[in-house]
Amino acid sequence: MTKKGSIICLCLILIFLSACSYREFEDSLRRQLDGEDENEIINETIVPDRLEDETYSEAGEINDEQSENDADRLYYIGDTASQYGVEYTLNDVQISDNINQIGLDRDGFFWVDRIEDNGEVKAGFKLVTVDVTIKNISAGGYDPDEEHDKPNLFVENLIGFKDDLEEPQGPFTIESSYFSEHPPYEQNQWNDYIQYQLGHGEEMEATIGWTVPVERLNEEPLYYLIGAVYATNEGTRPWRYFHIISEGEIVYLE
């Protein structure tokens, strides 16, 4: 074969491969547009419902043999939920129009864009806060540089509306704008805002807050989330769900 013939064959091969690659690209794009992408991950989060046959004490604890770590139940004010060696007891929930109503300092907020200088929450939003007791049972924390004497932990700082949590392309959550036990700004310019140190067997009281749209707050159930969603050999380990607000009202057990 002559040199010229070899070049022509090489060009034909490249054109053929390019055409195949372009067809594959078109097919992939078409599958994505049609929702048929085989690699697409569909959110399977389902917020549990309150079981009708569950009986509760005044403190909100289930009076049956259900495990405290059972993911197929809801938690309420007074309950304790455990995930990954840390216990969270929900002591109270507040809905506020002004941070001064609950004694918070604007300078202590991580996000202040929805808080006016006088403490008023901007129109169209409410401040939702939870008071929790956090106890470190066995968590080792995250401290790769060994900067801390005690386990370095991250506070559970997510809430979510039911529709957002169950959205097929989700789950979608809201991050906190306030954590009462945050380290001082000067320490690390708040890059460690949601971190705290707590030894095994120790506990602390904390307040965590979010600014949320009033319209959604009045219409959709809202949950405080404990733990992360991730896959294990036994399957997906879901959040624990504290049901905190429904139709604009704080949820208390009857």
pLDDT tens digits along 162-179: 999 999 998 999 999 999
pLDDT of residue 23 exceeding 90 = no
SS (H, E, C) 116-174: CCCCEECCCEEEEEEEEEEEECCCCCCCCCCCCCCCEEECCCEEEEHHHHCCCCCCCCE
Q: Under 8 Å CB-to-CB from 45, ≥6 apart: which residues?
A: 165, 166, 170, 171, 229, 238
CA of residue 200 relative to chain centroid, distance? 24
State the average pLDDT over residues 2-17.
49
pLDDT of residue 13 exceeding 50 = no
Residue 236 phi, psi (nearest 5): -85, 130
For residues 92 and 61, the answer to whether their CB atoms sit within 8 Å is: no
pLDDT of residue 59 exceeding 70 = no
Higher pLDDT, 233 or 41: 41
Q: What is the predicted pLDDT for the residue at 236?
A: 53
> What is the model's pTM?
0.78
DSSP 8-class letter at 23: H
Smallest CA-to-CA distance from 177 within 251, 99, 79, 92 is with 99
pLDDT in tens, 61-94: 444 344 444 567 899 999 999 988 999 999 999 9
For residues 93 and 244, the answer to whether their CB atoms sit within 8 Å is: yes
State the average pLDDT over residues 55-66.
43
Q: Under 8 Å CB-to-CB from 196, ≥6 apart: which residues?
A: 134, 152, 153, 155, 181, 182, 183, 204, 206
Q: What is the predicted pLDDT for the residue at 25?
A: 46
Higher pLDDT, 31 or 219: 219
Q: What is the predicted pLDDT for the residue at 39?
A: 63
For residue 205, what pLDDT band results from cuts at 50, 70 and 90? very high
